[in-house]
Amino acid sequence: MGLLPKTIYKTMRILKFGGTSVGSPERMKKLLDIINPAEEQIVVLSAVSGTTNSLVEISAKLLKEDKQAALSLINALNQKYNEFVIELLPEGDFRAQGQEVVNYHFNFLETLVNDLFTPIEEKVVLAQGELLSTTLYHIYLKSIGIPSVLLPALDFMKTDEDNEPDVPYTTRHLQPILDQNKGNKLFITQGFICRNSFGEVDNLRRGGSDYTASLIGAAILAEEVQIWTDIDGMHNNDPRIVKGTKPISQLSFDEAAELAYFGAKILHPQSVFPAQKYKIPVRLLNTMEPTAAGTLITNDSEKGKIKSIAAKDGITAIKIHSSRMLLAYGFLRRVFEIFERYKTPIDMITTSEVAVSVTVDFTDNLDKIIEELHDFGSVEVDTDQSIVCVVGDFSAEKHGYAARVLDSIKHIPVRMISYGGSSYNISLLINTTDKTEALKSLHNRLFE
Ligand code: ASP
Ligand code: MG
């Protein structure tokens, strides 16, 4: 587990607010309906919604050396922030401070237009969104007389050579700052951004603010991590597709990871692991309805219950048919090595004595992978597939859930079934065109 924190901040909560929760000056001000400045907490903020997308676009123009287009995007975003500051901060000193912050960040972006632009600068550009939102919120709190401490995430969030977050590093670097500020209760910091093993500005990938919150929670052994979004927790099916879905009150870390990965957009999938490893409860809560119970994610798994159904689109299935597989060992290893060489993760896998099917969702290197797989035999590729995943306690299987799952989709062609990989899920691969029907049908049978 590495280094344990010297001081355990068991009364400290981590509260993460996403882009829409800080998406307008009005929403930003409303955070105080939820944040109680009298309680010990670290507030992790995303960039104002839309900002990171704009910064991605600006970088894309700069990478293509389209300076004019980059400049006009920078100006448009700058204008948005000028208006944001006027609405957020009262006329006078605080507004001037806010304007200075905005000018500083946008002048900086403009200077990048005429310099060499590489993926290293791109990371710096992407970091501006969270730097802006947190600094402006900090000034807002000051303007209404609420003391808070702004923590620079770039001083304590770090990834290692394998691009994995370094939790003990965060413990070592965050704790002294918290210890120095013992008299303060409210801390604000940036989600998403970090430094890599070279010390360069980097990030935890899109949606990574959840991950930041969980990593900080783990690093200081916080009491709880709260992820505030605009839905009342994780639902038992996709609310955009199925009517009458309900929030799930409790999930185990494994169930939550499975659901986050296979479709439930509410939580960054990797953010589950630090919380699980360091046993920090995670609560998913709704900014628009702060008193709703939401979803609590802990180590406990409720016995004998089906929790949720989720689906992930954009899946490609690859079947490798090979007589050389018969009675051979080392075959799967050689197949997997090809995917490994092209840095392509495999999601589902099923095997028979003469064939193996796998699914992937990252297809940038698919052509090269298929070419190499042809050495083993024939290769079949199906695109536009979806993985439907049913999560819950399938451990003893005395409830007949597996049979019920299959029975409820017996009218839908199933390309692959994965069961028994863990005791808490069944995954099915179907054509994406059948997804809506599958989700509805499973819902009726398992929950109604
Ligand atoms: N701002 C980043 C993004 O849009 C991180 C986050 O919001 O979680 O991906
Ligand atoms: Mg998010």
| DSSP per-residue string spanning 78-112 | HHHHHHHHHHHS-TTHHHHHHHHHHHHHHHHHHHH
Q: Say what the alpha-carbon torsion angle 292, 298, 301, 306 is, to the nearest 10 degrees.
A: 40
C-beta 19 within 6 A of ligand 1: yes
Mean pLDDT across the stretch 213-239?
95
**pLDDT at 326 exceeding the cut of 70:** no
Tell me how far apart the alpha carbons of residues 377 and 405 are, in angstroms, rounded to a whole number: 33
Mean pLDDT across the stretch 106-122?
95
Tell me how far apart the alpha carbons of residues 3 and 106 are, in angstroms, rounded to a whole number: 39
289 Cα distance to chain centroid: 22
Mean pLDDT across the stretch 68-80?
98
Residue 294 amino acid letter: G
C-beta 194 within 6 A of ligand 1: no
* Pure H helices in 19-50: 25-30
Tell me how far apart the alpha carbons of residues 390 and 381 are, in angstroms, rounded to a whole number: 25
Least confident of 181-190, 206-215, 418-427: 418-427
Sketch the domain layout of the chain as residue ranges: 13-229, 306-446
Mean pLDDT across the stretch 27-42?
96
Q: How much distance in Å is there from the Cα of 107 to the middle of ligand 1?
A: 22
pLDDT interval class at 354 (50, 70, 90): confident
Give the model's pLDDT for residue 409: 95
Tell me how far apart the alpha carbons of residues 56 and 119 are, in angstroms, rounded to a whole number: 11
Please tell me whether the overall predicted TM-score, pTM, comes out greater than 0.85 for this model: yes
Q: How much distance in Å is there from the Cα of 266 to the middle of ligand 1?
A: 12
* C-alpha to C-alpha distances, 136 to 128, 278, 346, 409, nearest whole angstrom: 12, 32, 42, 51
377 burial via Cβ count (<10 Å: 0-12, 13-18, 19+): middle
Mean pLDDT across the stretch 344-362?
93
Tell me how far apart the alpha carbons of residues 307 and 292 are, in angstroms, rounded to a whole number: 19
pLDDT interval class at 331 (50, 70, 90): confident
Tell me how far apart the alpha carbons of residues 174 and 275 are, in angstroms, rounded to a whole number: 17
In this structure, what are the phi and psi dihedrals at residue 85, rounded to the nearest 5 degrees? Answer: -65, -40
Checking DSSP bridges between strand 250-252 and strand 295-298, what pairing results, if any?
A: parallel
pLDDT interval class at 7 (50, 70, 90): low
How many Cβ atoms sit within 10 Å of the Cβ of residue 373? 22
Q: What is the CATH code of the structural domain delimited by 306-446?
A: 3.30.2130.10
Beta bridge partners of 295: 284
pLDDT interval class at 253 (50, 70, 90): very high
Give the model's pLDDT for residue 437: 97
**Mean pLDDT over all residues of the chain?**
93
Mean pLDDT across the stretch 87-105?
97
Which has the higher per-residue pLDDT, 200 or 376?
200
How many Cβ atoms sit within 10 Å of the Cβ of residue 279? 11
C-beta 294 within 6 A of ligand 1: no
Among 253, 257, 187, residue whose Cα is nearest residue 15: 187
Mean pLDDT across the stretch 412-421?
92
Give the model's pLDDT for residue 3: 52
Give the model's pLDDT for residue 8: 62
What interhelical angle do 331-341 and 366-373 show, nearest 10? Answer: 150
**pLDDT at 118 exceeding the cut of 90:** yes
Mean pLDDT across the stretch 124-139?
98
Paired tokens of 210: 């959840």
pLDDT interval class at 303 (50, 70, 90): confident
Mean pLDDT across the stretch 150-165?
97
Give the model's pLDDT for residue 216: 98
C-beta 137 within 6 A of ligand 1: no
pLDDT tens per residue, range 358-412: 999 999 999 999 999 999 999 999 999 999 999 998 886 667 888 899 999 999 9
Within 8 A by CB and 6+ apart from 210, the residues are 16, 18, 191, 227, 267, 268, 271
- Indicate the top mutation candidate among 206, 230, 287 to test ligand 1's pocket, ranked by most ligand atoms within 8 A of CB: 206
Which helix (H) or strand (E) element contains residue 369? helix 366-373
171, 163 contact by CB (below 8 A): no
* Superfamily of domain 13-229, CATH level 4: Acetylglutamate kinase-like (3.40.1160.10)
Within 8 A by CB and 6+ apart from 383, the residues are 316
pLDDT tens per residue, range 372-381: 999 999 999 9
280, 217 contact by CB (below 8 A): yes
109, 128 contact by CB (below 8 A): yes
Question: Which ligand 1 atom lies nearest to the CA of residue 49?
Answer: 4
Paired tokens of 307: 């929790």
Nearest CA to ligand 1 atom 5: 207
Tell me how far apart the alpha carbons of residues 388 and 409 are, in angstroms, rounded to a whole number: 11
Q: What percent of the chain has pLDDT over 90?
A: 83
pLDDT interval class at 1 (50, 70, 90): very low
Q: How much distance in Å is there from the Cα of 383 to the middle of ligand 1?
A: 29
Among 378, 374, 380, 388, residue whose Cα is nearest residue 425: 388
341 Cα distance to chain centroid: 25
